[in-house]
A = this chain, B = another copy of it.
Amino acid sequence: MYIVLDLKQVIIVRKDLKMGIGKTAAQVAHASILSCEKARSKNIDWFKEWFDFGQPKIILKVNSLEELEEINEKGYFHNLPTAIVRDAGLTQLDPGTATCVGIGPAPTQLINKITSGLKLL
On whether A54 and B88 interact (CB within 8 A), knowing A13-B25, A26-B59, A28-B25, the answer reads yes
On whether A11 and B24 interact (CB within 8 A), knowing A37-B51, A51-B37, the answer reads no
Which residues does chain B contribute within 8 Å of A54, judged by CB atoms? Answer: 88
Copies per complex of this chain? 2
Residue positions of A touching B, CB distance < 8 A: 11, 13, 21-22, 24-26, 28-34, 36-37, 51, 54-55, 57-59, 88, 120-121
Which residues does chain B contribute within 8 Å of A13, judged by CB atoms? Answer: 25
A26 contacts B28, C-beta separation under 8 Å: yes
- A91 nearest CB neighbor, chain B only: B120
- A120 nearest CB neighbor, chain B only: B22
